Amino acid sequence: MNLTPRRGAAAPGGPAPLALVQPPAEPPTHWRAGERTLRLLTVTVAAVAAALLTGHAWVLAVAAGPLVLLVLATSGEGRPTVGGAEATVSARRLFEGETVEARIELAVGGTHGRIVPRPYPGPGVAVEAVDVTGTTVTLRLTPHRWGRWSLGTVDVDVYDGGGLARRTVRVELGEAQVFPMPTHSALTPIPVRLPERLGEHTARQRGEGVEVTGVRPHVWGERQRRIHWPSTTRRGSVQLNQFAAERAADTVVLLDALGDYYDPSNGVSSLDETVRAGAGIAKAYLRSHDRVGVLSIGGTTRWLVPGTGGGYFHRLVETVLEVRRDLGYHLPDLAGLPRQVIPADALVYVITTLTDHRVLEVLRHLTARGNPVVVIEVPIGSPRHDVRALSSARREAAELAVRLWQADREASRFALRARGVPVLPLTPDAGLDLTLAPLLRARVQGRNR
């Protein structure tokens, strides 16, 4: 059984693990024999040595063929001059799944042979295509996991005109910021109380919005453009339409980065899904001109105070890019955070796997502050155990352990719901709307202060 967080491993069929990919040692910078040359030379030398040692002259015939191939491969021209290489990358900020093009321009003078690039992509980066045109090498790279990654290293072998000797140029492609692809979401549930800022959500207070909440008698001095004529006719006095105020919401997305769990059934990383869901929520609220902030708990507490605007989304995702490197077990002191991080009455989405009980402590603090809190539970599957490899007694113990683990998680959910905190299971494939739909039945309640 595996109940511990794993990093750098994934179930078969799952996404590529984030194993640290190290390029080989620095290649020699001087001219050296190519692989083909080495092969032909090795066979030749071995055959000649064997013929001399054994006295079997026929073995020399084995040496003759490769030797002639080598001699005829020499072009008779000088070797080309290899100055260096310059890499340009079409974009260094992109979303996961997008493809970036890297062009390597080699400074080669004279007659050169073939140019063979050997790419060593960074973690989570896949090489889609490699193309060599003249002295230009073009690579198409696709990062499949969000994060701040090195795009990789490319060793380019430049052969001489005869293809016998080569010289290697190492090119670093640099880093790229790969933003998480937000989970699709169109719903923006709101809390009971909204701050006094103009927005798009209908508040319970009366105001100058567009949603009619009732009619009332006209008071002398009021504008008469909102007269409700049916009521006026019925009651015999001027009646005016009454509208609800429209306010913007404050939303804070709290990301649980205390651990990264891989679902044994599909190899999906819980941290990946956590950040994608958080980005989806942020995008949906920013679209309706609300203020959105982010707070991640884990190794280092990172936050961004709520803000609004189209460009704010990129600031939000940049804030969480380092989360993967910060996996740890340090809990923030919420009382020590600036008050602007979690404004009063801000709706707080806590995206968590509920596997670490310390998150429950954070939730307790949040509810004690009076903020309306919604827990979005990221699925991690159940631990798997190899039934065939266990004896019957151990199998029963393993099954009992799984049942206890599931019961413990159910108890955590029950405790939260009993405290008035909705716990919504995230369904990654179905988008966030299905998860958030239950919140549309009623406004999210915070604790009354």
Partner 1 sequence: MNRHLPSSAGTARALGVVLVLGADAAVTTTPAVWLTLLPFTLPFAWFAAPPPPGLVPTGSSWQAQLSRRRTTAFATGCTLTAALGDPPLWLAAALTLLLLGYLLHLDGADPDAADDARRPRRAVAASFGSAVLVLLAAAAPLGSSAPGPLVAVLAVAGAAAACALALRGSPADRDDEGPRPE
Q: Which stretch, 64-72, 323-331, 348-356, 372-380, contacts partner 1 (CB under 8 A)? A: 64-72
Name, in order, each residue with C-beta under 8 angstroms of 249's C-beta and a sequence gap of 6 or more.
Answer: 188, 190, 191, 194, 195, 199, 201, 285, 290, 291, 346, 347
Name, in order, each residue with C-beta under 8 angstroms of 144's C-beta and a sequence gap of 6 or more.
Answer: 15, 16, 96, 97, 124, 125, 126
DSSP E strands, 173-207: 175-179, 198-206
At position 113, the amino acid (one-letter code) is G
Select from 9, 69, 91, 198 the one that contacts partner 1 (CB under 8 A). Answer: 69
> How many residues interact with partner 1 (rule CB under 8 A)?
65
Q: How far is the CB of 122 from partner 1 (least distance, A)?
A: 14
The per-residue DSSP string of 15-32 comes to PPP----PPPSPPP-S-E
Residue 220 binds partner 1, judged by CB under 8 A: no
Residue 11 binds partner 1, judged by CB under 8 A: no
Of 164 and 380, which has the nearer Cβ to partner 1?
164
CB neighbour burial string for 54-84, b if at least 16 within 10 angstroms, e if fewer: eeeeebeebbeebbeebeebeeeeebbebee
- Provide the token pair at 233: 């006719």
- Specify the DSSP class assigned to residue 332: P
Q: How far is the CB of 151 from partner 1 (least distance, A)?
A: 17
At position 107, the amino acid (one-letter code) is A
Q: Which of residues 90-119 bind partner 1 (CB under 8 A)?
A: 113-114, 116
Residue 25 binds partner 1, judged by CB under 8 A: yes
CB-count exposure of residue 25 (10 Å: 0-12, 13-18, 19+): exposed
Residue 81 binds partner 1, judged by CB under 8 A: yes
Of 26 and 211, which has the nearer Cβ to partner 1?
26
Q: Which of residues 228-257 bind partner 1 (CB under 8 A)?
A: none
Q: Which of residues 147-206 bind partner 1 (CB under 8 A)?
A: 157, 162-165, 167
Select from 2, 42, 136, 406 the one that contacts partner 1 (CB under 8 A). Answer: 42
Separation CA 435–CA 362 (nearest Å): 22
Select from 13, 20, 72, 220 the one that contacts partner 1 (CB under 8 A). Answer: 72
Select from 65, 97, 214, 438 the one that contacts partner 1 (CB under 8 A). Answer: 65
Which parts of this chain interact with partner 1 (CB under 8 A)? 23-26, 28-31, 33, 35-44, 46-48, 50-75, 78-79, 81-82, 113-114, 116, 120, 127, 129-130, 157, 162-165, 167
